[in-house]
């Protein structure tokens, strides 16, 4: 039977990857092999590496930090000299276990709204791409990729029939069955632990699981409003046969923000993006949290292994695209600024259709200057006003206080 498609799970979102078994087997292999001469100087025993030890000592840690935690737990001598070897061995075992099929999908994996909606979006964009290509390019692409009419029809089917689930009150459901989960005692756990960013570790140490509650490490549902505009998302739901309103989206945002632990550095980026216009004060707070992720090492040791590049790039993207409202749409480069009161000025440059454009935004004015060159004039739209911008010229726009 031939595969008709595949979903790549890059961070354990859909699949429960076999990390625990890999750590256990890698250590056993070392203690029975190259490290057998030091085994009697440790407290290591195969039966002591239990699921409870894994959850309490190393679950959720970056690879090097996890290796250190496990070796220190078993009082292995010369830890610093052995961390890299153990971490590399663990990674080899992960790959072997995955290749052997020793992993399971989370129960909600195939009913996950983000995966379903974005799968439909990808299918529709693929169809759109084929429609806009000139015939000779289209035919070359179809031949090169061996795309048959049956497959194209399948894209249309997925792009118009993908299932989306809603709460009884119309809030988007993260996955089918989510509404039946228990509410979490956020007040009680914050009082006991303070920082609740890693509730997965806290609950698993208590013999419980975050899968039993209406809670998320990051606002997964709100990713829909990060990658798509509200109008795009509403149109996409319409193509799937669902009538979704702005008011529903607002309630969905509030619902999931109240049930998110923000244990991921990307969570602050997504929350900032979603709230930038509706709740700028909260958006600014989330942006500051995202900016401090690596400076303050908020995840307790992960920054030493490298910065959180996705989160850091996301903060730059917020400044460049979200606060300016910059969007290339059709033949027009559009801007709809939403500058927080805490930001007095933004300056940066972009390349667009052969132009190098210097952008300056302040509370009362937006200025775009195109450096000298030979590109054709472009259309710029700012808050309802459209102008042609030629190379070597500038355009200024007066912004009202609401902008």
Are 113 and 255 found together in one domain?
A: yes
Q: Does the structure show a pLDDT above 60 at 291? A: yes
Are 150 and 214 found together in one domain?
A: yes
Are 194 and 330 found together in one domain?
A: no
Are 164 and 248 found together in one domain?
A: yes
Q: Does the structure show a pLDDT above 50 at 295? A: yes
DSSP 183: P
Chosen domain end from 83, 102, 121: 102
When mean pLDDT is compared over 17-21, 148-152, 217-221, 388-392, the highest value belongs to 388-392
Phi-psi sector, 153: left (phi>0), alpha (psi -120 to 50), beta: alpha
Q: What is the CATH number of the domain that holds 351?
A: 2.60.420.10
Are 131 and 274 found together in one domain?
A: no
* Domain boundaries, position 382: 324-398
pLDDT at 308 (0 to 100): 79
22 burial level (CB within 10 Å; 0-12, 13-18, 19+): buried
Residue 3 lies in a domain: no
Cα 131 to Cα 52, 141, 146, distances in angstroms: 54, 12, 17
Q: Does the structure show a pLDDT above 90 at 225? A: yes
Q: What is the edge-to-edge ordering of all strands in the sheet holding 365-370?
A: 346-352, 355-362, 365-370, 394-398
Q: Does the structure show a pLDDT above 80 at 7? A: no
355-362/394-398 β-pairing:
unpaired
Are 181 and 242 found together in one domain?
A: yes
Residue 32 lies in a domain: yes
Are 254 and 211 found together in one domain?
A: yes
- The model's pLDDT over 30-75, given as tens digits with 9 standing for 90+, comes to 999 999 999 999 999 999 998 888 878 887 788 898 999 999 999 9
Are 240 and 254 found together in one domain?
A: yes
The domain tally of the chain equals: 4
Tell me how far apart the alpha carbons of residues 241 and 347 are, in angstroms, rounded to a whole number: 42
In the 3-class helix/strand/coil scheme, how is 256-308 assigned residue by residue?
Answer: HHCCECCCCHHHHHHHHHHHCCCCHHHHHHHHHHHHHHHHCCCCCCCHHHCCC
Tell me how far apart the alpha carbons of residues 317 and 321 are, in angstroms, rounded to a whole number: 6
Q: Does the structure show a pLDDT above 80 at 304? A: no
Are 244 and 335 found together in one domain?
A: no
Q: How far apart are the first and last CA of the chain?
A: 56
Q: Show contacts of 397-400: CB within 8 Å, 24+ apart.
A: 397/335, 397/365, 397/366, 397/367, 398/364, 398/365, 399/337, 399/363, 399/364, 399/365, 399/366
Tell me how far apart the alpha carbons of residues 236 and 162 are, in angstroms, rounded to a whole number: 11
pLDDT at 403 (0 to 100): 47
Are 156 and 34 found together in one domain?
A: no
Q: Does the structure show a pLDDT above 60 at 97? A: yes
Half-sphere exposure of 292 (CA within 13 A, CB side): 9
Q: What is the edge-to-edge ordering of all strands in the sheet holding 385-389?
A: 327-329, 332-335, 378-382, 385-389
Q: Give the ranges where 184-229 is alpha helix by DSSP (H).
A: 186-193, 199-205, 224-227
Q: What is the CATH number of the domain that holds 118?
A: 1.50.10.10
Are 37 and 79 found together in one domain?
A: yes
pLDDT at 10 (0 to 100): 47
- The model's pLDDT over 338-393, given as tens digits with 9 standing for 90+, comes to 899 999 999 999 999 999 999 999 999 999 999 999 999 999 999 989 999 999 99
């Amino acid at each position: 039977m031939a595969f008709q498609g595949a979903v790549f799970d890059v961070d354990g979102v859909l699949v429960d990857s076999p990390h625990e078994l890999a750590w256990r087997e890698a250590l056993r292999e070392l203690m029975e092999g190259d490290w057998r001469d030091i085994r009697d100087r440790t407290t290591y025993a195969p039966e002591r590496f239990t699921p409870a030890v894994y959850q309490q000592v190393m679950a959720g840690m970056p690879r090097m930090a996890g290796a250190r935690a496990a070796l220190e737990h078993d009082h292995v001598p010369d830890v610093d000299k052995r961390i890299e070897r153990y971490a590399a061995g663990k990674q080899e075992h992960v790959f072997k276990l995955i290749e052997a099929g020793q992993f399971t999908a989370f129960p909600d994996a195939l009913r996950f709204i983000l995966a379903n909606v974005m799968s439909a979006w990808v299918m529709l964009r693929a169809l759109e791409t084929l429609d806009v290509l000139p015939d000779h390019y289209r035919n070359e692409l179809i031949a090169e990729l061996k795309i048959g009419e049956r497959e194209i029809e399948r894209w249309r089917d997925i792009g118009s029939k993908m299932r989306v689930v809603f709460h009884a009150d119309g809030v988007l459901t993260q996955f089918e069955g989510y509404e039946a989960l228990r509410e979490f005692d956020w007040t009680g756990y914050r009082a006991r632990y303070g920082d609740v960013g890693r509730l997965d570790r806290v609950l698993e140490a208590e013999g419980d699981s975050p899968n039993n509650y209406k809670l998320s490490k990051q606002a997964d549902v709100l990713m829909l409003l990060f990658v798509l505009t509200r109008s795009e998302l509403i149109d996409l739901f319409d193509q799937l046969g669902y009538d979704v309103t702005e008011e529903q989206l607002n309630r969905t945002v509030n619902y999931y923000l109240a049930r998110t632990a923000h244990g991921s550095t990307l969570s602050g980026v997504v929350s900032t993006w979603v709230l930038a216009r509706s709740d700028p004060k909260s958006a600014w707070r989330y942006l500051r949290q995202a900016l401090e992720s690596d400076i303050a090492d908020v995840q307790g040791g992960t920054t030493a292994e490298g910065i959180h590049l996705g989160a850091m790039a996301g903060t730059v993207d917020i400044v460049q695209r979200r606060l300016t409202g910059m969007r290339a749409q059709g033949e027009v480069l559009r801007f709809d600024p939403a500058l927080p009161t805490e930001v007095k000025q933004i300056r940066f440059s972009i390349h667009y259709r052969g132009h190098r454009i210097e952008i300056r935004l302040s509370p009362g004015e937006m200025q775009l200057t195109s450096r000298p060159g030979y590109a054709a004039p472009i259309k710029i739209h700012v808050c309802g006003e459209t102008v042609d911008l030629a190379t070597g010229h500038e355009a200024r726009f007066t912004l009202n206080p609401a902008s």
